[in-house]
Amino acid sequence: MSDLLSLRQVSAGYGDAIVISKIDLSLKPGESLAVLGRNGTGKTTLLNTIIGVTRHRGGAITFAGRDLSGMRPDKRALAGIGWVPQERNIFKSLTVEENITAIASPGPWTLDRVYRMFPRLKERRFNLGNQLSGGEQQMLAIARALVLNPRLLLLDEPTEGLAPIIIEELLAALRSIIRDEGLAAIVVEQHAQKILGLTEKAIILDRGTIVHASSSQALIKDSSPLDQHLGIAGKKPGNSPLRNIRLAAVAIHKQY
């Protein structure tokens, strides 16, 4: 099966600054990737580069066999890349339903289907974007990306700053979207335990380069790369953060 997304020796950044350097990665249709790393290691820049809002400084990006070089972000979205940025970027002066229908494209993800995925949004369909909680805004941002009917979904820190009960709802939805529906996805996350149970592959970024790449299950079983590159210091085997990450990731995988 040919690659859906391919990055070959990609370097990019903002202005004169190069933030990510010589990145190589690929995703086949239906595959999912967790992008891990400390703050400031280039995780968000990697997603921004795929969607086209950074300054391209070298290498090649192809999506569904098309060269993305020079393609505007809106054209990349129309080509099949859905993007949920950290800022969410919902229209706060429009209602929930207007936010969703304003950008919808024909396909299996419809207004009714995202309402079934996120019942809270249906309950608040006449509320304005600025009347939603942070968790509801995140659900709306994901719904807006889904109704574009993308072939690849980019999610940047989707659980950041949310209450635990909302995080559980979002993780259940992402499990359905990524694992059950088989939508290809790249999920940026600082906290590995939240997403390793949902994705097939994982990379760790440090100083703008990939310093570890493996299956997510391999990283769950052997968490030493997380200790090395994310600075998670284990103490006693029975009560170590590394062990907690493994247990949490396995629990997420089984629960959803």
Q: Is 63 part of a structural domain of the chain?
A: yes
Q: State the alpha helices, DSSP H only, in the chain.
A: 43-51, 73-79, 96-101, 111-117, 119-123, 134-146, 164-174, 216-221, 224-230, 241-255
| Chain-centre distance for alpha carbon 12 | 19
- With a threshold of 0.95, does the pTM exceed it? no
Over residues 23-40, the pLDDT tens digits come to 999 999 999 999 999 999
pLDDT at residue 91, rounded to an integer: 94
Positive or negative, the CA dihedral 119, 123, 127, 132 is negative
Total domains, the chain:
1
Amino acid at 173: A
**What range does the domain containing 38 cover?**
5-80+150-255
What's the pLDDT score for residue 232?
57
Residue 103, domain member (yes or no): no
Asked if residue 130 is part of any domain, the answer here is: no
pLDDT at site 78: 92
* Ranges of the chain with pLDDT below 70: 232-256
Which H or E element spans position 80? Answer: none
Residue 236 has a pLDDT of 36
Asked whether residue 128 is assigned to any structural domain, the reply reads: no
Q: Is residue 85 part of a domain?
A: no
Residue 195 buriedness (CB in 10 A; 0-12 / 13-18 / 19+)? buried
Cα distance between residue 136 and residue 120, in whole Å = 7
CATH assignment of the domain containing 53: 3.40.50.300
Is 194 part of a structural domain of the chain? yes
Q: Is residue 51 part of a domain?
A: yes
Does 230 reside within a domain? yes
